[in-house]
Chains A and B, each alone.
Chain A
Amino acid sequence: QVQLQESGPGLVKPSETLSLTCSVSGGSVNIIDNYWNWIRQPPGKGLEWIGYVSYRGSPNYNPSLKSRVTISLDMSKNQFSLKLTSVTAADTAVYYCARGIAVTEHYFHSWGQGTLVTVSS
C-alpha cells in the first residue's frame, strides 16, 4: 500500500520560498496513470489544489498559483517536491501531498498526514 509523508520547515518568513518534500513508500512514483499532487488547507478553511507532477515528470498547476509554484519529481529518491516562492501570510496552511489516479476516473486516492506551514517573520 502506497504511503506518503510530507517533510519541510514549519515556519517560513514572508517573501521567502516554501519548500516541501513528499516521500513515497510502498510503491514507485513512476507508476503509469499516477499523478503526484499538492493540496493545501488554511486553518479552519477548505481545500485548495495547488498542482501535480505526473509519473512522467510533467507538471500541471493551479493558474492562481502558477507564477509562484514548481512541483517536481525525483524518481531516484521516490519523492516529489513543492516550491512556492514569495510567500505571504495567505500561504499559511496545512499542506498535503496526495497520490492521484487518472485512468478514466481522476481522484486523490491517498494522502499524507499533512504538515502545517506558517508564514511569519
Chain B
Amino acid sequence: DIQMTQSPSSLSASVGDRVTITCRASQSISSYLNWYQQKPGKAPKLLIYAAFSLQSGVPSRFSGSGSGTDFTLTISSLQPEDFATYYCHQSHTTPQTFGPGTKVDIK
C-alpha cells in the first residue's frame, strides 16, 4: 500500500494567517492527489483534485501544488469557516489511501 503522511498533524492559527499543510506519499503518485476538508460531524468535502485543480465553488484562497511524492495545500488567508481537519488522498494505486489528517484550530 502507498502510505500517506501529513505534517503537521495539527496547527493553531489566526484568522488572516497563511497556512501550509504538507502531504508526502511513500512512492510516486504523479498528480493523483486530492485534498478534502472535514468539519466535526460532517462528511469530507472535496477542495482540490489532481494536485492543483480547484473544485468548483471552493474559494480561491485554497490552492494545491506538487507532484511525485510531495504535495502542499495552502490557505492564503485563513477564514473562520476554514477551521477543520484536512486530509490528502492518493488515487494512483489500489488501495486508495488517505493521510492521517491535519487539524487546523483557532490560536
Cβ-defined partner of B89 (8 Å) among A108, A109, A112, A113: A108
Provide 10 A-B residue pairs closer than 8 Å at the C-beta atoms, listed in order of the A residue.
A47-B87, A49-B95, A49-B96, A105-B53, A106-B32, A107-B49, A107-B91, A108-B46, A108-B89, A111-B44
Nearest CB on B from A98, distance (A): 8
Q: Which residues does B use to contact A, with CB under 8 Å?
A: 31-32, 34, 36, 42-46, 49-50, 53, 55, 87, 89, 91-92, 94-101
> Which residues in A have their C-beta under 8 angstroms from that of B91?
102, 105-107
B43 x A105 contact (CB < 8 A): no
Asked if A60 is at the interface of the complex by the 8 Å CB criterion, the answer is yes
Given A47-B44, A112-B43, the answer on whether A105 and B49 have CB atoms closer than 8 Å is yes
Q: Which A residue sits closest to B32, measured CB to CB?
A: A106
Given A113-B43, A114-B43, the answer on whether A47 and B49 have CB atoms closer than 8 Å is no
Asked if A33 is at the interface of the complex by the 8 Å CB criterion, the answer is no
Q: Which A residue sits closest to B45, measured CB to CB?
A: A111
Assembly CA distance A111 to B38 (angstroms): 11
Cβ-defined partner of B36 (8 Å) among A62, A64, A102, A108: A108
- Please count the residue pairs between chain A and chain B whose beta carbons lie under 8 angstroms apart in the complex: 56
Contact-residue size bin, chain A (C-beta under 8 Å from the other chain): 20 to 34
> Which residues in A have their C-beta under 8 angstroms from that of B92?
106
Assembly CA distance A64 to B1 (angstroms): 10
Q: Which A residue sits closest to B91, measured CB to CB?
A: A106
Q: Which B residue sits closest to A63, measured CB to CB?
A: B95
Cβ-defined partner of A64 (8 Å) among B43, B55, B87, B95: B95
Asked if A16 is at the interface of the complex by the 8 Å CB criterion, the answer is no
Cβ-defined partner of B87 (8 Å) among A46, A63, A107, A110: A46
Assembly CA distance A47 to B91 (angstroms): 14
Assembly CA distance A60 to B94 (angstroms): 8
Q: Which A residue sits closest to B101, measured CB to CB?
A: A46
